[in-house]
Amino acid sequence: MIKQGHFLRSAIPLWVLAAGVVAGGLDPVAWVTGLLFGVALVLLTTWGLRRTGRAAFGPADWITFGRATLVGCAAELIADGGRPVAWLVGVIAVALLLDGVDGQVARRTGTTSEFGARFDMEVDAFLILLLCVQVSRTLGLWVLAIGLMRYAFVAASWAMPWLTAPLYPSMARKTVAAVQGVVLVAAVSGVLPVLWTLVAVASALTALVWSFGRDVVWLARHRVTERQPGRIVEITRATLRRPLGNGTAWRGHNQAA
């Protein structure tokens, strides 16, 4: 069963990305991008399963895997640069529509896991980065700051481990994260005038800087580590002024949500 699951994980992204090359007649740089993405997807998911002690994908993981394959197709289209923008918007729209479905499936089937949550987060983060690459072609390289901010946060946490501590739940944080995708898709589609697009993307970046900055300040003030689970719950309860129902700590920008 495990071998069969590994074969499917290996075959699906490579075949789908290869089909995109044959059907779309993409440039060599595009199919190389697709091939590298497919190989990386297989290797990273295999590593993630082993690291978390999982034997195989759950139902929700396969949905996330499908979303990741669509993100790979979007990477091909962006690398090619010569396809109609409607193709890219269509692929991204399907990937975004499926976002959240995997979480619902995991909860309803009782198969939620650290691996699944982290997998979903990484797919979302890479999709945002791809959108930034596309938008930067018209608005400038500064747009890449939106997609790279989360990766910069993760890199900073290697030197400052206290940044890896769970964060309190925040609707503002979730809203800012959701806005990034909506604004970037609108920018890619070209439905707004250039000036309005520029203002919208700049506003999204400002909101993201505020969100990350607020959380970094909070983490710096409390300096909680994963070795202090009791302290995490204590601070989170104080922040919310109500106890967490199941005592579960909420995680931050570089953690599984």
Summarize pLDDT for 158-191 with one digit per residue, the tens. 988 888 887 878 899 989 998 999 999 999 999 9
Query: What average pLDDT score do residues 61-83 get?
Result: 88
Q: What is the pLDDT of residue 234?
A: 53
Q: What is the DSSP letter of 223?
A: -
Between 138 and 83, name the one with better pLDDT.
138
Give the helix ranges, DSSP H, for the chain. Answer: 2-24, 28-51, 59-80, 85-97, 101-109, 114-139, 144-159, 171-189, 194-222, 229-240
Q: Give one DSSP letter per residue of 157-172, joined into a string.
A: HHH-GGGGS-----HH
On the 0-12 / 13-18 / 19+ scale of CB atoms within 10 A, 82 is exposed
Best CA proximity match to 187, nearest among 225, 240, 119, 140: 140
Please determine, for residue 49, whether its predicted confidence score (pLDDT) is greater than 90.
no
Give φ, ψ of 110 to 5 degrees.
65, 35
